Amino acid sequence: MNKDAKIYIAGHRGLVGSAILRRLEREGYTSLVYRTSSELDLRNQQEVERFFEQEKPEYVFLAAAKVGGIVANNTYPADFIRDNLMIQNNIIDASYRTGIKKLLFLGSTCIYPKFAPQPMKEEHLLTGILEPTNEPYAIAKIAGIKMCQSYNRQYGTKYISAMPTNLYGENDNFDLQSSHVLPALMRKFYEAKESGSPYVEVWGTGTPKREFLYSDDLADACVFLMNNYEDSEIVNIGVGEDVSIRELAETIGRIVGYTGNIRFDETKPDGTPRKLVDVTKINGLGWKASISLEEGIRRAYNWFLENKIVAAK
């Protein structure tokens, strides 16, 4: 991408999109295009087509999506499959119709089977059943991958797909009903410390293992792939190591400065037993994560403290 190329970041106010925007600005890209959801409803085909015809971006980072944790996915499955299908269908097709040079579609490691071998390799896609709690979201993302591959095959487009592991960082969602595990725990420990609560309750047994990637690392990987990768096959983005939910909770509690107890509610679901991605492919291309979990949590917590009135709503 030339520094003056017109680049559209879909979802620029979210966790991923805002990190990509910061990264591109920091690297000196000067023609960045974005719209808020009130300015452009990505679920509306006519609005999206009109936007692409008017702006004619050269490159697209498709980071817009309806996302959430176990609670949100369990409660609103229809919303998750419908909204994500509409968003990606509209953007991918409008990108083709207006002749963009390249598109990066962001999926998720929840596309892999619930009991996929660990670490999960790109070729494990569609080799087993999905985790039921987020199946509608995963199916939407798999459809997005297949749509990119199909457009490449039929129309000769350059649409690539990246599968990041669990993400956290600036502009994260800290709502306890819809957030992912790391920001939810961060808010819980903060509120417990402030109120003097004797314990913090964590869903599940604490034994599932998860991998966590800081959003700025993901943004770095996305820009790297846009500039260096053109294959239709998906690429995992992660750090290549994981921690148990118990270890995660203990680390967050220590960084927050909470001194009470941690209780695990074993009546609540654990989700997938383990989710670690194989990062051999992206490492081989020349990219590696650089922000440790400890450093990332400290950065995210500092951002939360500076923005907690807004973030906690």
Residue 21 annotated in ligand binding = no
Residue 253 annotated in ligand binding = no
Residue 106 annotated in ligand binding = yes
The DSSP element (H or E) to which 55 belongs, if any, is: helix 45-55
Residue 17 annotated in ligand binding = yes
Q: Kindly state the tokens that stand for 61.
A: 């980072």
Residue 165 annotated in ligand binding = yes
State yes or no: cis peptide before 57, omega within 30 of 0.
no
Strands (E) across 63-118 are located at: 102-106
The DSSP element (H or E) to which 263 belongs, if any, is: strand 261-265
Residue 107 annotated in ligand binding = yes
Residue 85 annotated in ligand binding = no
User: Active-site residue among 34, 59, 112, 137?
Assistant: 137
Residue 14 annotated in ligand binding = yes
Residue 209 annotated in ligand binding = no
Q: Kindly state the tokens that stand for 295.
A: 């450093």
Q: Kindly state the tokens that stand for 11.
A: 């979802």
**Whole-number Å distance between alpha carbons of 61 and 116:** 28
Residue 124 annotated in ligand binding = no
Residue 137 among the catalytic residues: yes
Yes or no: say if 214 and 300 are a contact pair by the CB < 8 Å rule. yes
CA proximity to 237, closest of 183, 278, 176, 186: 278
Residue 260 annotated in ligand binding = no
CA proximity to 162, closest of 85, 235, 268: 235
The DSSP element (H or E) to which 33 belongs, if any, is: strand 31-33
Give catalytic residue positions.
137
- Residue positions in the annotated binding site for substrate? 188, 203, 210, 270
- Residue positions in the annotated binding site for NADP(+)? 11-17, 106-109, 141, 164-167, 180
- Residue positions in the annotated binding site? 11-17, 106-109, 141, 164-167, 180, 188, 203, 210, 270
